[in-house]
Structure 1
Amino acid sequence: MKKTAILFPFIILSIFLAFQDCHKTEEIHNTSLQNKATSNAITIMPLGDSRVEGAASNSVSYRYDLWKKLISNQWNIDYVGTQKDKTSYPLLLGKHFDSDHEGIGGFESKDVLENIPDILEDLGTPDVVLLGIGGNDLIREIPLEQVIENINQTIDILQNSNANITIFLEQIAPGKTNIMTPASTIVYNSFIENLATIAMEQTNDSSKVILVNMSTNWTDSYMADNLHYNELGAKEIADRYFEAIVENLEK
Structure 2
Amino acid sequence: MSLFSFRNHTVFGEYYDICANTGVLKYKKAKHRDYGDSYFMEEYKSQYKKTYYEDESNLRNMASRRIDVLRSVFGVSGKGFAGKKILEIGSAAGFFLHEAEKAGFIGKGFELSGQEAEYSRNKLGLDVEQKSILEIPSQTYKNSWDVIAAFFVIEHISEIDSIWERLGDWLAPGGVLFLGLPCFFGPSFQTNPKHWFETHPEDHFFDYDLASLKKLLSILGLKVKYARPMSYHQSRDLGLRGRLPHWGYKLYSNHFCYGDTIQVAAQKL
TM-score by length of 1: 0.39
Q: Which has the higher strand share?
A: 2
Tell which has more relative contact order, 1 or 2 (C-alpha 8 A, sep 6+).
1
**TM-score, structure 2 as length reference:** 0.37
The higher radius of gyration belongs to 1
- Which protein is richer in helix relative to its size? 1
